[in-house]
Amino acid sequence: MKQNYTVRHGALEGVEVFLAVARRRNFRRAAADLGVTPSAVSQAVRTLEARMGAALFVRTTRSVGLTEAGQRFFDRAGPAFEELVAAGEAARDVGQRPTGLLRLSVPRAVVPLILEPVIASFCQAYPEIELEIAASDEM
């Protein structure tokens, strides 16, 4: 039975910016870290706060601090965001390296002539690949 499900657009939008500001306690330094303008950082934080329905920062002319809501969000969003980044890197690593099972069905005569000389170097070059060789006298 199919259930209605809507993907929330932009559920994570602004989180990285929020975390950068929360860590640096400064919009300009966070912007420099992220390679964007302070105006872009300010807008992203305002949008995130509007979406959450709570102020995340106490802003004065001289400092930036976390509100109670901001601190709670920071405490939970920081580790979760780091896990998401790590998950992305792990998936990207798998996508860039061959992994899995490679099955070869070859005539028995090919094994000593062609395969044996290259199997060791292949396995060393691609340790994430499991090699399964089925050799038979049949064609």
The reply to whether 9 falls in a domain is: no
Rounded to an integer, the average pLDDT of 25-32 is 95
The reply to whether 1 falls in a domain is: no
> Can you give the CATH number for the domain in which 46 is found?
1.10.10.10
114 shares a domain with 60: no
113 shares a domain with 81: no
Contact (Cβ atoms closer than 8 angstroms) between residue 77 and residue 18: yes
Range of the domain at 39: 15-95
pLDDT for res 89: 87
81 shares a domain with 20: yes
Residues 6+ away with beta carbon under 8 Å from 130 = 100, 101, 102
> Can you give the CATH number for the domain in which 120 is found?
3.40.190.10
Q: How confident is the model at residue 1 (pLDDT cuts 50, 70, 90)?
A: low
- For residues 18 and 24, what is the distance between their CA atoms, to the nearest angstrom? 10
- For residues 42 and 17, what is the distance between their CA atoms, to the nearest angstrom? 9
90 shares a domain with 52: yes
46 shares a domain with 71: yes
pLDDT tens across 48-106, in order?
A: 999 999 999 999 888 899 999 999 999 999 999 999 999 988 888 776 778 889 999 99
pLDDT tens across 121-135, in order?
A: 998 888 889 999 999
For 132, phi then psi, to 5°, come to -125, 120
Residues 6+ away with beta carbon under 8 Å from 44 = 13, 14, 17, 18
The reply to whether 4 falls in a domain is: no
The reply to whether 7 falls in a domain is: no
pLDDT for res 96: 76
Contact (Cβ atoms closer than 8 angstroms) between residue 17 and residue 37: no
Contact (Cβ atoms closer than 8 angstroms) between residue 66 and residue 93: no
pLDDT for res 5: 58
Cut 0.75: pTM above it: no
Domain count for the chain: 2
90 shares a domain with 105: no
The reply to whether 20 falls in a domain is: yes
